[in-house]
Amino acid sequence: MSTQIEQQETETEADEAESEQAVESPGDQRRAAKRQRQAERDVQREAEEASLDDEETVELKVFRYDPEVEGKQEPRFDDFTVPFHKGMTVLDALIYARDRYDSSLTFRHSCRQAVCGSDALFVNGRQRLGCKTQLSDLDDPIRIEPLPHQEVVKDLVVDMEHFYDQMEAVEPYFDADELPEDSLEEQRQTRENREKVKMSTRCIWCGACMSSCNIAAGDNEYLGPAAINKAYRFAMDEREGENRKQERLRIIEQEHGVWRCQTQFSCTEVCPKDIPLTEHIQELKREAVKNNLKFW
């Protein structure tokens, strides 16, 4: 940390070098060396940037916005030219631009392997995960925006609170009617039933589906594809039992539930985990109808 004044720093350095008999250089030398190193880096970077002319590059047009920084309060697009290599993803390109050109470029990302669901973005007009979208599959220049229909916090970061609220509204947790008494005995589940819920359990909460859905855009209370899929995951799991299933159907049948879906398939098209969201919603509609007939 650079919280201390330089005088102290130099003294401590010297003390340390003496007491540890280490080959530490005194502060002045160190700083000179550091300046030189920095200069070398600058030269290297200039060389790298100059060589961009010779190699293949891609153009990024990236949405920028920051509510509190002058010049960024009005949304704008910044252009970045990044070197292209085979296998490079949208996320790789963003990281390159951030680390080399502008450290304030802001986006969520973590696992780099399409499982944390942090980096759903609007790339060339479509919801995609940055980490699993190859640059080679996109037309240049590549336009990168935050997910539509969500409030932008900054640059490519959107507010996910509403999405999380909708997920939690469907009571997204396993809640069996009864469990084996023995704490070492598992519930049985057929392979077929596991297969039935398998795709629905793959959801990574990225929000791409919700952002692509016209209905969700117009009806803020609509549960949305991800949350309904979550309800499907439990309603179809034979381990939970009939009582719980009834409760789950009641939740998804509400005014802003499954009946809002107009089967446009946009959610299914953008889902990075290939979950057949629209099918799941339709199946729940059928379950709900069957269920209502039963009590009629």
Partner 1 sequence: MYEHDVIVVGAGGAGLRAAIAADEEGADVALVTKLHPVRSHTGAAEGGINASLRDGDSWDLHAYDTMKGSDYLGDAPAIDTFAKTAPEEVIQLEHWGMPFSREDDGRVSQRPFGGMSFPRTTYAGAETGHHLLHTMYEQAVKRGIEVYDEWYVTNLAVTDHDDPEDRKCHGCVAYDIKSGKIEGFRATGGVVLATGGLGQAFDHTTNAVANTGDGCAMAYRAGVPMEDMEMIQFHPTTLPSTGVLISEGVRGEGGILYNDDEERFMFEYGYANNDGELASRDVVSRAELTEVNEGRGIEDEYVDLDMRHLGEERILDRLENILHLAEDFEGVDGLDEPMPVKPGQHYAMGGVETDENGETCIEGLYAAGETACVSLHGANRLGGNALPELLVFGARAGYHAAGKDMKTAEIETGPSAKSEDGDVQPPVAPGAVDTGSEDVAADGAAIEPTGVIENAVERERDRVETLLEEDGVNHAEVRADVQETMTQNVNVFREEEGLKTALRDLRRAREAYEDVAVSDPSRTYNTDLIHTIETRNILDVAEAITLGALAREEFRGAHWRAEHQERKDDEWIKHTMLAWNDGTPELYYKPVILEGDEETYEPKERSY
Q: According to CB under 8 A, which residues from 122 to 181 bind partner 1? A: 132, 153-155, 157, 160, 164, 168, 171-176, 179-180
**Does residue 197 touch partner 1 according to CB under 8 A?**
yes
Closest Cα to residue 263, out of 281, 290, 275, 250?
A: 281
Structure tokens given for 111: 């696992």
In terms of CB distance, is 219 or 269 closer to partner 1? 269
Inter-residue contact 227 to 215 (CB < 8 Å):
no
Using the contact rule CB under 8 A, the part of the chain among 54-62, 185-193, 216-224, 277-285 near partner 1 is: 185-193
- Nearest distance from C-beta of residue 260 to partner 1, angstroms: 23
Total number of residues that touch partner 1 (CB under 8 A): 78
CA distances from 100 to 94, 141, 147, 218, 243 (A): 10, 19, 25, 40, 57
In terms of CB distance, is 142 or 203 closer to partner 1? 203
**Does residue 24 touch partner 1 according to CB under 8 A?**
yes
Instruction: Provide the mask over 249-288, with x wherever binding to partner 1 is found by CB under 8 A and - wherever it is not.
Output: ----------------------------------------
Q: CB neighbours (10 Å) of residue 154? A: 18
- Nearest distance from C-beta of residue 285 to partner 1, angstroms: 23
Structure tokens given for 241: 């039992």
In terms of CB distance, is 17 or 251 closer to partner 1? 17
Candidate list 47, 56, 190, 296; residue touching partner 1; CB under 8 A: 190
Spell out the alpha helix ranges (H) of 199-241: 208-212, 214-218, 225-235
In terms of CB distance, is 59 or 99 closer to partner 1? 99
Instruction: Say how far apart CA 155 and CA 76 lie, in whole Å.
Output: 9
Contacts of 44 (CB under 8 A, 6+ apart): none
In terms of CB distance, is 85 or 250 closer to partner 1? 85
Query: Hey, is 162 helix, strand or coil?
Result: helix
Query: Which secondary structure element, helix H or strand E, spans residue 153, and what is its range?
Result: strand 152-154
- Write phi, then psi, for 57 (nearest 5 degrees): -135, 165
Candidate list 183, 242, 255, 295; residue touching partner 1; CB under 8 A: 183
What length is written for the chain?
296
Instruction: Provide the mask over 212-251, with x wherever binding to partner 1 is found by CB under 8 A and - wherever it is not.
Output: ----------------------x--x-xx-----------
Instruction: Say how far apart CA 222 and CA 226 lie, in whole Å.
Output: 11
Q: According to CB under 8 A, which residues from 91 to 120 bind partner 1? A: 98-99, 103-104, 106-118
Q: According to CB under 8 A, which residues from 51 to 80 bind partner 1? A: 66-69
